[in-house]
Amino acid sequence: MKRAIAWLGDWWFSPAPAERLAALRIAIGTFAVVWVVGRTSELSGLARLPRAHFAPVGVVKLLDGPLPRELVILIAIATAVLLLAFTLGVAYRVTAPLAAAALLWTLSYRNSWGMPFHTENLLVLHVIALACAPAADVWALARRKGSPPATGYGWAIRLLVALTAATYLLAGIAKLRIAGLGWIDGELLRNQIAIDNLRKALLGDAVAPLATPFLDHPSALTVFCGLTLVLELGSVVTLLGGRVARMWAAGAWAFHLGVVLLMNIWFPYPLFGFAFLPVLHAERPFSWLFGWWRDRRQRPRALGNAPPV
């Protein structure tokens, strides 16, 4: 038992470059900033709705009723500013927890109007995890001087991977708990696709491009259902890292693409790859970008020092 715990500890705390964790902070933080800024007008619109439509979830359950519109917008702007500081790594120990708390509040408030979405849960969990980690030791403005943490950076990246895996695992388990193994036969998903697209049509939204052909020939949905359950229940393989984790991420991304084509439901966080960045070498594009930027800044200076021809 002791040996197993020691092995688990060594594995969880195995090293990873500080740059990788910093890259995740920058990428996920940028997504969060853009997401919150993009939701501001919607939050403003929601604030105009009658009080009866307010159905608080999560931390927003603390409220008895909706907040005034001006306050909702002010909180959304403050959230975006804090997330920008989080992304840039400014006074990280202070701004990161505040940014995570503000994001949790703002998105919980957005989900408190009749129907919780499932598109933002992982983003919030990732930002909270990053806020608890030393993610601004490199590639940060006004970073704290000091020696690297004794526990390194690998545990935080592994935590992000575990959170991604956990959310997909929960989705798979929910299908088994609610529908059982019969979910695989495809009929239940066919009805879901049909009802969802009908609802979209009646509410003036676009019907998914592959919905009608698949509804007309439902046998293909059995394959889609089987693969979905394998992906969701098998999400824990991402903790192994390496090629297996990357293959799972590719499969999960393809699943989300399938959901767009069949139901026109967009999960932007995984669809744009951010949910799967923790299983990749996320620092590589940033290293290239920062290297290119350094070279670009140094080149004119070098030319300026050159002797006249």
Partner 1 sequence: MTVLARLATVVRTRALPAAISIVLIGATLWPLVRQPVDDDFPLSTYPMFAFERPTRMTMSYAVGITRTGRRYLRPEIVGTPEVLQARAIIERGIGGTARERMALCSQIATTLREVSEFDDVVAIAIVTGTHDALDFLIRGQIGTEIERVRCEVKR
The footprint of partner 1 on residues 91-110 (CB under 8 A) is 104, 107-108
Q: Of 17-25, 91-99, 200-208, 295-303, which part binds partner 1 (CB under 8 A)?
A: 200-208
Within positions 14 to 43, which residues make up the interface with partner 1, using CB under 8 A? 42
The CA distance from 125 to 275, in Å, is: 11
The CA distance from 129 to 135, in Å, is: 10
Residue 201 CA, chain-centre distance (Å), reads 28
For partner 1 (CB under 8 A), the number of binding residues is 74
Say if CB 250 and CB 222 are below 8 A apart.
Answer: no
List the Cα angle 250/253/259 in 5-degree steps: 145
Select 212 or 298, whichever has its Cβ closest to partner 1. Answer: 212
Nearest distance from residue 117's CB to partner 1, in Å?
7
Nearest distance from residue 172's CB to partner 1, in Å?
9
Nearest distance from residue 196's CB to partner 1, in Å?
9
Q: How many CB atoms lie within 10 A of CB 228?
A: 23
Q: Of 23-31, 72-80, 148-156, 280-288, which part binds partner 1 (CB under 8 A)?
A: 148-156
Nearest distance from residue 139's CB to partner 1, in Å?
20
Nearest distance from residue 37's CB to partner 1, in Å?
15
Select 13 or 286, whichever has its Cβ closest to partner 1. Answer: 13
Among 27, 88, 136, 162, indicate the residue that binds partner 1 (CB under 8 A).
162
Q: Of 119-127, 135-143, 282-290, 295-303, which part binds partner 1 (CB under 8 A)?
A: 119-127
Among 63, 71, 94, 132, indicate the residue that binds partner 1 (CB under 8 A).
132
Say if CB 20 and CB 27 are below 8 A apart.
Answer: no
Within positions 49 to 78, which residues make up the interface with partner 1, using CB under 8 A? 49-50, 52-53, 55, 57-58
Backbone angle region of 219, left / alpha / beta, with phi > 0 → left and psi within -120 to 50 → alpha: alpha
Q: Of 27-35, 83-91, 160-168, 291-299, which part binds partner 1 (CB under 8 A)?
A: 160-168
Task: Confirm or reject binding of residue 124 to partner 1 (CB under 8 A).
Answer: yes
Q: How many CB atoms lie within 10 A of CB 234?
A: 17
Token output for 92: 């990280």
Phi, psi for residue 223 in degrees, rounded to 5: -65, -45
Select 49 or 257, whichever has its Cβ closest to partner 1. Answer: 49
Within positions 211 to 230, which residues make up the interface with partner 1, using CB under 8 A? 211-212, 215-216
Say if CB 16 and CB 135 are below 8 A apart.
Answer: no
Listed residue (286, 266, 203) closest to 38, CA to CA: 266
Token output for 235: 């999400």
Helix then strand then coil, % of the chain, to nearest 5: 75, 0, 25
